[in-house]
Amino acid sequence: MKKKPYTLAVDIGTSSLKAALFDESFNTLLTEKFDYSYQTYGMNVQVDPEDVWKGFLAVTKRMQSYLDKVELVVPCVFSPALISMDEEGTPLYPAIIHWDRRSIKQAKWALSKIGKDKFLKVAGNLPYPGGISVTSILWIKEKQIDIFKKTFKFGHMNTFFVKRLTGNWSIDPTNASLTGLYNTVAYSDWDEEIAKELKIPLHKLPPVVPSTRIVGKVSKKVADITGIKSGTPVLMGPNDTSSAAVGAGCLEEGQILNLSGSSEILTICLRKPIPDEKYYLRTHPLPGRWLMFDITTGGFALEWFYSRFCREMSEKEFYEVYLAKTLKKKRGCPVKFNPHLAGDRTSLIQKTASFSGLTLSTTREDCLYALMEGTVGRMKKTLNKMAKRINLDKTIYLTGGGANKVLMDYKKRIFPGFEFVVKENCSLQGCAYLARMILGKL
């Protein structure tokens, strides 16, 4: 019996790679996952790109019997993940990722050279250390001089991945938006003035290719080791959060997605760019749209609290019983939580978390409730700010590990007037949506 064509979607995350095969009707046929680790020391947080590639080889090996019928490969990637590469696309240094804060000095220098107004007017973002990858480029230029000289191209994770698949250099606008060197507000190309001011040669940056464009074809070398046919088209693809917005259906202005996992990410679709130093701005994978997004520590904060203060409980008891009971009703408690356990990605300084309002009568339930109030409270402030600028949809799409009944019931109380709708595997579904566009099946 003849096999039907498939689409292979690849979601490259901070600590795992997920892949899904979609059939011709775009039903999920098969999913696979491979875990890898990021490394931390001091303020440095990085990932070995070769571990990501090993993950891709591992999941394709498990899908081997289907891959000869794949007609399109669609990746999405976490970002930023700044990678220095030689002419062949081989990494010269680990990927410096979004949690990294080693480049605070370089971030302050870049801001002094360009100015806050111009960064926001052009790049749409301030040069937050690690979170906007120009600061990592500047750090390499200053601290790893030989690496900078040897670098043929600086790119993000999709630059590395697509180069390895097809042999072509590229980066898409949703990733370029978080470099600080791209004109995000105009949805256009690298900004020559900013690059010149910061003394970063434009020839070291890859071509910007639309997220929805075929960027190349799977090479024979990759075909031989994966089983994907040589010549199979590869879509450029977007950032993973941007793909999740598409997968959730956030295609028009005011539509909202809450990605609830290790972090709480609030993203809202815009029809015109609205830069703000308190959140990030990036292009939407579909033209003529942008996405604002705000991030704070989410599941990581709960994991931290559980591991430090509730070790006598099982994880099931903590998350399904104790947390539910603690959040069931509003507590009249003065304890406050400043939610920066993992720092603040929209700050030029390294922020830390703290509890305040503690007394001898404070309980751990009070602290847990305050932790959730502080974490979700930031999201509430951002929604209130955006409600003054655009008309917000009254549905919040919710995806990720935090899309469970306990946390959803809590958020329903915190956000009266909004309906929460759970969406599964939004990043992979976003890849599938883009594939349907390209294949003319929408």
What digits encode the pLDDT tens for the residues 191-247?
A: 999 999 999 999 999 999 999 999 999 999 999 999 999 999 999 999 999 999 999
Tokens of 203: 């020839």
One-letter amino acid for residue 251 of the chain: L
Tokens of 370: 């305050």
DSSP category for residue 294: E
Q: Tens digit of pLDDT for each residue in 5-57? A: 899 999 999 999 999 999 999 999 999 999 999 999 888 999 999 999 999 99
Indicate the pairing of strand 419-422 with strand 395-399: parallel
Q: Mean pLDDT lowest for which of 118-132, 206-220, 341-355?
A: 341-355
416 Cβ contact list (under 8 Å, min separation 6): none
**Partners of residue 235 on adjacent β-strands:** 214
7 Cβ contact list (under 8 Å, min separation 6): 21, 22, 26, 70, 71, 72, 73, 74, 431, 432, 435, 439
Q: Which residue has the tokens 């301030």?
A: 126
Indicate the pairing of strand 256-260 with strand 263-270: antiparallel
370 Cβ contact list (under 8 Å, min separation 6): 333, 335, 336, 337, 355, 357
Tokens of 392: 């917000």
Q: Which domains does the chain have, with CATH numbers?
A: 6-240 (3.30.420.40), 297-422 (3.30.420.40)
pTM, to two decimals: 0.93
Give 347's pLDDT tier (boundaries 50, 70, 90). low
Q: Tens digit of pLDDT for each residue in 146-195? A: 999 999 999 999 999 999 999 999 999 999 999 999 999 999 999 999 99
421 Cβ contact list (under 8 Å, min separation 6): 395, 396, 397, 398
325/327 Cα distance (integer angstroms): 6
Give 351's pLDDT tier (boundaries 50, 70, 90). confident
Tokens of 111: 């801001």
pLDDT for 1: 38
Q: Tens digit of pLDDT for each residue in 98-116? A: 989 999 999 999 999 999 9
117/220 Cα distance (integer angstroms): 48
